[in-house]
Structure 1
């Protein structure tokens, strides 16, 4: 097949697809188009073609825009520049509509479920929300972000979606080319930065500022390793904890499991529900997260920690939990975890998901094991990007 890379196509843009692009078709091939919106007529340049049934392209000229198109707030959110954002050219409410369509399509295609989806905005603005950003230094030593599906570094002067002040130190100096700089601004507004560099074939991390972050959620103050897992949007942790509190409904004295527990945000919610006579088992693979979790929840003796991979620990857990909360990585829990969990026969499962395709696959596996999707809420926890966070309630 002829390589279309560099070819300019005039396209009628079709539906949104998972991944921050829309779908078009030319001569029997699928074209995934970025920087376009459904219903537009665009000229697009093919940026990647590995043969087969599809290729990738950027809309370089919009011939017929839709009303929901806006000017991107960042001048680098255009073809060939920064790949950090996907939807800056769409009005915020339309971004949420696009994400809702993606979640619904994944549930329909992968789980066979027709489900009306609304993506809710979190408190705050669609800019200035990102509390953790990993930059990389280009050949000239300037820090920036990579272009989409490329190792090319686009140097930044500022990033509109980052929390103000989070990147000032990193962007104000030169670095060894290839150095990664991880920046976190915590709930008290303190910036934590470390550099990650490969020296003589070995990956090394060096803390530059801070190290222990302070966060506030679920009525508690949390102290944790600054670059460990915590929700990136400042309002996300509190919002998700409240949904878990509402849907878990663990009874006093009950057994509950918190899988992929992080530092124990949801374990703290479950502990309050089961009370001193109940038990919460928190499972987490990150040793530092377990240490932080044990310290933060030391006042809750009903929380017991298990360090290890969820699929390994889960096989060794005994008892029948009344409710299970899980917040797996982007790849989802997977068949092994879902089947083992379902065999324990909890009455309710609250699933926090950062990828709609992974969620849909796991919902389908839960359905095979006798669980049905009862409720679903979706949140725009990553404005301007294609990412969306969902919380699902499954019942036996």
Structure 2
């Protein structure tokens, strides 16, 4: 038995049934489609609704409520199936070579138009199931393509193919010290020689040519404005400083290199800066190595436009307004909000991560109408009660949650612009808002993650039905 096979043993209950032929049902949240075999639900990745496929079971415990599988052959293809752009992420090709595909491009076998229609279906289903939202503002959901509004220093992004959009990427390292990525829900790391979703700013570093022995993870940020990239190295336990210096010496001279601790987000300089400079909407932002910034090159401009558009058009944002930016990060939304309210208004910027909040203070030091506070949103709202005209809410993937939603409603704003990267937590929170007497007054869905199942939503929530 090969070492690759040993890395992926089949559960005992599936040892006699490693492959099945399935009729693929509807898309579901999480990047897979639903199929059934003898009454059991199987979540199938790399399929398209309506296809007949042969799958390999990847998680099939006898007592499990459902099984998981990857497509290994397509017997009846959807007209929306296309050739996968990336061999390492192509399920059929990868399993044909005896190993699973890398994660991160699970929709790469689907035409872009169909990808967006599937994402729209998932968002609509989540809103209906978790929030009881049937009739949406503006009618049916359309997931919008995003391209062309950001800085043009890196022109490799092609909206027609959905490639070259990532300005940030996370990699693992094989036991032999090669750059790689994990297979989905697996410890198996597949070495890479390309990353088609990444911008040229990342690919031209050629990190796959570097001997990374002694490193567990690599994070890369290459700003779309062409400013200096940053490579972050997460050392394996026991890696010596001399080894780290040797790795840094293999990275191009015009790139900053630092180490980071994934548990504490502590960053230590090896060469150059421990932060990058991003740009959006006429503002420059310092973003520390472990800080958050949108990964699609055009996402900052698109999201700022969607948020401010909802608030401006609804009459909730104007000179003199009192607003708050919650889960504010480095200040992506805070800066344009400060522009809109002027010196007669005020903006409260709240961020929980100390390092990122420090970035926000540096980025907004020239805006006297902005107050930057580091701390948990629920605590700051209790300490800083105000009569807000509007709130901007951009929580992490887990969403705001019932307690925070209750506090937001109690704060009594005239409107809330809610930015979300997860349809399930977003729909759940919309349900909490509706229980408090609020309603969904506007919704936009943006395809900021082509060839993956992810999407971004921007919603306008208002009190009263």
TM-score normalised to the size of structure 2?
A: 0.82
1:244 maps to which of 296, 307, 313: 307
Contact 1:354 1:387 in 2 (8 A): yes
Q: Does 1:157 align with 2:193?
A: yes
User: Which residue number in structure 2 is paired with residue 196 of structure 1?
Assistant: 234
Contact 1:37 1:69 in 2 (8 A): yes
Cα deviations by residue, 1:211-260 (Å, 9 ceiling, x for unpaired): 32121112212222144111100100011101111112313222111100
User: Which residue number in structure 1 is paired with residue 150 of structure 2?
Assistant: none
1:118 maps to which of 120, 142, 145: 142
Cα deviations by residue, 1:120-155 (Å, 9 ceiling, x for unpaired): 011042101111111111111101100110011110
Q: Which secondary structure state, in structure 1, belongs to the residue aligned with residue 74 of structure 2?
A: strand
Distance (Å, rounded) in 2 between the aligned partners of 1:19 and 1:4 = 23
Cα deviations by residue, 1:75-110 (Å, 9 ceiling, x for unpaired): 111231211211000011111111111111110110
TM-score normalised to the size of structure 1?
A: 0.96
2:348 maps to which of 281, 290, 297: 281
Q: Which secondary structure state, in structure 2, belongs to the residue aligned with residue 265 of structure 1?
A: coil
Q: Structure 1 residues 273, 205: closer, same or farther in 2, change over 3 A?
A: closer
Give the root-mean-square deviation of aligned CA atoms.
1.8
User: Which residue number in structure 1 is paired with residue 105 of structure 2?
Assistant: 85
1:255 maps to which of 308, 313, 322: 322
Contact 1:194 1:207 in 2 (8 A): no
Q: By how many angstroms is 1:304 displaced?
A: 0.2
Q: Structure 1 residues 2, 99: closer, same or farther in 2, change over 3 A?
A: same
Q: Which secondary structure state, in structure 1, belongs to the residue aligned with residue 87 of structure 2?
A: coil
Equivalenced residues, count:
396
- Structure 2 matches for 1:264-275, cutoff 5 A? 264-275=331-342
Distance (Å, rounded) in 2 between the aligned partners of 1:77 and 1:193 = 24
User: Which residue number in structure 1 is paired with residue 211 of structure 2?
Assistant: 174
2:80 maps to which of 68, 79, 97: 68
2:370 maps to which of 303, 319, 324: 303
User: Which residue number in structure 2 is paired with residue 381 of structure 1?
Assistant: 448
Distance (Å, rounded) in 1 between the aligned partners of 2:42 and 2:201 = 39
Q: Which secondary structure state, in structure 1, belongs to the residue aligned with residue 442 of structure 2?
A: strand
Contact 1:170 1:181 in 2 (8 A): no
Distance (Å, rounded) in 2 between the aligned partners of 1:199 and 1:133 = 23
Cα deviations by residue, 1:157-196 (Å, 9 ceiling, x for unpaired): 0110011141424212111255211111013323210101
Distance (Å, rounded) in 1 between the aligned partners of 2:332 and 2:14 = 49
Distance (Å, rounded) in 2 between the aligned partners of 1:364 and 1:384 = 29
User: Which residue number in structure 2 is paired with residue 34 of structure 1?
Assistant: 45
User: Which residue number in structure 2 is paired with residue 128 of structure 1?
Assistant: 164
More strand by share: 1
Contact 1:136 1:179 in 2 (8 A): yes
Q: Does 1:225 align with 2:305?
A: no
Q: Does 1:23 align with 2:61?
A: no
Distance (Å, rounded) in 2 between the aligned partners of 1:316 and 1:360 = 28
User: Which residue number in structure 1 is paired with residue 14 of structure 2?
Assistant: 4
Q: Structure 1 residues 376, 328: closer, same or farther in 2, change over 3 A?
A: same
Contact 1:380 1:388 in 2 (8 A): yes
Q: Which moved more, 1:74-83 or 1:18-27?
A: 74-83
Q: Does 1:54 align with 2:66?
A: yes
Q: Does 1:235 align with 2:235?
A: no
Q: Which moved more, 1:72-81 or 1:309-318?
A: 309-318
Contact 1:193 1:207 in 2 (8 A): no
Q: Which secondary structure state, in structure 2, belongs to the residue aligned with residue 105 of structure 1?
A: helix
Distance (Å, rounded) in 2 between the aligned partners of 1:206 and 1:196 = 10
> Which ranges of structure 1 fall in alignment gaps of 5 or more residues?
none
